[in-house]
Amino acid sequence: MYFSNKEGKNISLGLTSGNPMHLWIDYDEAEKLLSVTLAPNGIPKPNRPLMSKPIDLSQYLLESMYVGFSSAIGTLVPSDHYVLGWSFNKSGQAQSLDVSKLPPLPQQRKTKEIPGLMIMVLVIAVILVLITIIGAAYIIRRKKYEEIREDWEREYGPHRFIYKNLYKACKGFSDKELLAAGGFGKVYRGILPSSNIQIAVKKVSHDSKQGIKEFVAEIISIGRVRHRNLVQLLGYCWRRGELLLVYDYMPNGSLDKFLYRNEKPNLNWLQQFRILRGVASGLLYLHEDWEQVVLHRDIKASNVLLDAELNGRLGDFGLSRLYDHGTNPQTTHVVGTVGYLAPELTRTRRATTSTDVFAFGATKAPLITNKSLYIKITSR
């Protein structure tokens, strides 16, 4: 700003306006006072300087010396300053400048201004990119947990688990949570986040849509069976050709780990008896005491699971079939595990309660004899 003699007040002045300015620098040696006065070109020198500062310049002013200019504006101020003319006098007033003889100001450099429309286009483009990224992330995340739902599943709604919950419960089905693996699929340990209940999740490959309805219906029907020596089926989830069956978690694993894998300590006679009695009790309930006859069709040591108290529980009903009491089973498809199949099964191709009992006998033989089940297969 500068002081206007005419108006008697300070007036704002922009140094980056591009208009020529007149600057006076005076030093009073007697009073040791440095004064700087500024005004637009053509305005008489203001009576009040822009700034005054007491300072002793005697130590800087020598008998013989040169006078020149040195300045710097740095990189933060987007402006240029030019000295068009100057005069100097070491005593008294300096000679006035003839403004008409001063060279014209250099032509100002045109700064590239971004039009408002372009700024708007850039902002919209950035917003669209962000929306696309967020949308893609949402689709990928949703596809990750995508499930298949059919109309017929409404009947079994309460028994269906949300895949996302099972995925989190089993920590993304990581290998650290893997309990067992085989031809039937993989079994993972999990903890439901909502209730902190431990579960076992079996992932069964089932690519064919044909028959999945009947398979789920059979599984859910068997899931209604309640007995202390049967592993409880809690529900299922179907996703991308993969069926997930959710069971109660058995902390002591399967019986075969005690018999064949040397992963567990040996069982004493009382423990063995309690396990066999429990499995027999569960099998009797399936065959005679429930509202329908349930054929397990795959009784073996790896399907006998042990709870925290080492009680035997029959599990894995993936091959089971139901039929009414007093009727004959209709299935003619031979399934099961070699070594546990009754001899007549290969001839009649019909599973019965007797074939289940034979498999139970083959399961208990290693416990009674303390010898592993030896299976010899020969081809003719």
For residue 221, what is the domain's CATH number?
A: 3.30.200.20
Query: What pLDDT is recorded for position 282?
Result: 93
Query: What pLDDT is recorded for position 374?
Result: 47
Query: What pLDDT is recorded for position 106?
Result: 73
What is the band of 44 on the pLDDT scale with cuts at 50, 70, 90? confident
What does the alpha-carbon distance between residue 151 and residue 145 come to, in Å, rounded to a whole number?
A: 19
What is the band of 107 on the pLDDT scale with cuts at 50, 70, 90? confident
Single out the residue in 90, 110, 130 at which a domain terminates: 110
Query: What pLDDT is recorded for position 70?
Result: 76
9 occurs within a structural domain: yes
> How many other C-beta atoms can be found within 10 angstroms of the C-beta atom of residue 26?
14
What does the alpha-carbon distance between residue 34 and residue 39 come to, in Å, rounded to a whole number?
A: 17
126 occurs within a structural domain: no
Closest by Cα among 140, 14, 159, 153 to 77: 14
Residues 257 and 245 in one domain: no
Residue 189's beta-bridge partner residues? Answer: 200
Q: Where is pLDDT greater, at 13 or 182?
A: 13
Query: What pLDDT is recorded for position 158?
Result: 54
Residues 190 and 273 in one domain: no
Query: What pLDDT is recorded for position 311?
Result: 93
Indicate if the pLDDT at residue 150 is higher than 80: no
Residues 197 and 317 in one domain: no
List CB contacts of 176: < 8 A, sequence separation 6 or more: none
What is the band of 145 on the pLDDT scale with cuts at 50, 70, 90? low
Closest by Cα among 267, 262, 278 to 368: 267
Say which DSSP state 209 is in: S
54, 27 Cβ separation under 8 angstroms: no
300 occurs within a structural domain: yes
Residues 329 and 216 in one domain: no
Query: What pLDDT is recorded for position 74?
Result: 63
Q: Give the rounded distance of the alpha carbon of 258 from its chain centre.
A: 39
Residues 271 and 244 in one domain: no
48, 6 Cβ separation under 8 angstroms: no
**Lowest mean pLDDT across 72-76, 316-320, 348-352:** 72-76
What is the band of 177 on the pLDDT scale with cuts at 50, 70, 90? very high
List CB contacts of 279: < 8 A, sequence separation 6 or more: 229, 299, 304, 312, 313, 314, 360, 363, 364
Query: What pLDDT is recorded for position 96?
Result: 81
Point out the catalytic residue in the list 80, 151, 256, 298: 298
Q: What is the pairing mode between strands 33-40 and 21-28?
A: antiparallel
Residue 331, CA distances (Å) to 252, 286, 303, 328, 335 in order = 34, 17, 21, 9, 10
Q: Which domain holds residue 176?
A: 145-249
121 occurs within a structural domain: no
Single out the residue in 234, 249, 264 at which a domain terminates: 249
**Lowest mean pLDDT across 13-27, 262-276, 327-341:** 327-341
Residues 235 and 278 in one domain: no
Indicate if the pLDDT at residue 234 is higher than 60: yes
CATH at 333? 1.10.510.10
Both tokens assigned to 124 = 């919209």
Residues 244 and 271 in one domain: no
Query: What pLDDT is recorded for position 43?
Result: 85
- Percent of the chain past pLDDT 70, that is, above it, reads 78
- Percent of the chain past pLDDT 90, that is, above it, reads 16
Residues 222 and 158 in one domain: yes
Query: What pLDDT is recorded for position 305?
Result: 92
Residue 244's beta-bridge partner residues? Answer: 203, 237
132 occurs within a structural domain: no
List CB contacts of 94: < 8 A, sequence separation 6 or more: 87, 88
136 occurs within a structural domain: no
| CA-based end-to-end distance of the chain | 113
Query: What pLDDT is recorded for position 371?
Result: 58
What does the alpha-carbon distance between residue 23 and residue 31 come to, in Å, rounded to a whole number?
A: 21
Residues 258 and 368 in one domain: yes
Residue with structure tokens 């297969």? 377
Both tokens assigned to 171 = 């920590």
What is the band of 334 on the pLDDT scale with cuts at 50, 70, 90? low
128 occurs within a structural domain: no
Residues 362 and 260 in one domain: yes
Indicate if the pLDDT at residue 183 is higher than 80: no
Query: What pLDDT is recorded for position 186?
Result: 86
What's the chain's average pLDDT?
79
Q: Is 282 helix (H, G, I), strand (E, B) or coil?
A: helix
Residues 54 and 151 in one domain: no
Q: Residue 130 burial by CB count (10 A; 0-12/13-18/19+): exposed, middle or buried?
A: exposed
3, 10 Cβ separation under 8 angstroms: yes
| 289 among known catalytic residues | no
Letter for the amino acid at 78? Answer: P
What is the band of 378 on the pLDDT scale with cuts at 50, 70, 90? very low
Residues 303 and 193 in one domain: no
Single out the residue in 95, 110, 125 at which a domain terminates: 110
Give the count of domains, the chain.
3
What is the band of 199 on the pLDDT scale with cuts at 50, 70, 90? very high
62 occurs within a structural domain: yes
Convert the pLDDT of each residue in 70-96 to its tens digit.
Answer: 776 666 555 677 888 888 887 778 888
Query: What pLDDT is recorded for position 249?
Result: 93
In what helix (H) or strand (E) does residue 272 lie, and over which residues does it extend? helix 269-284
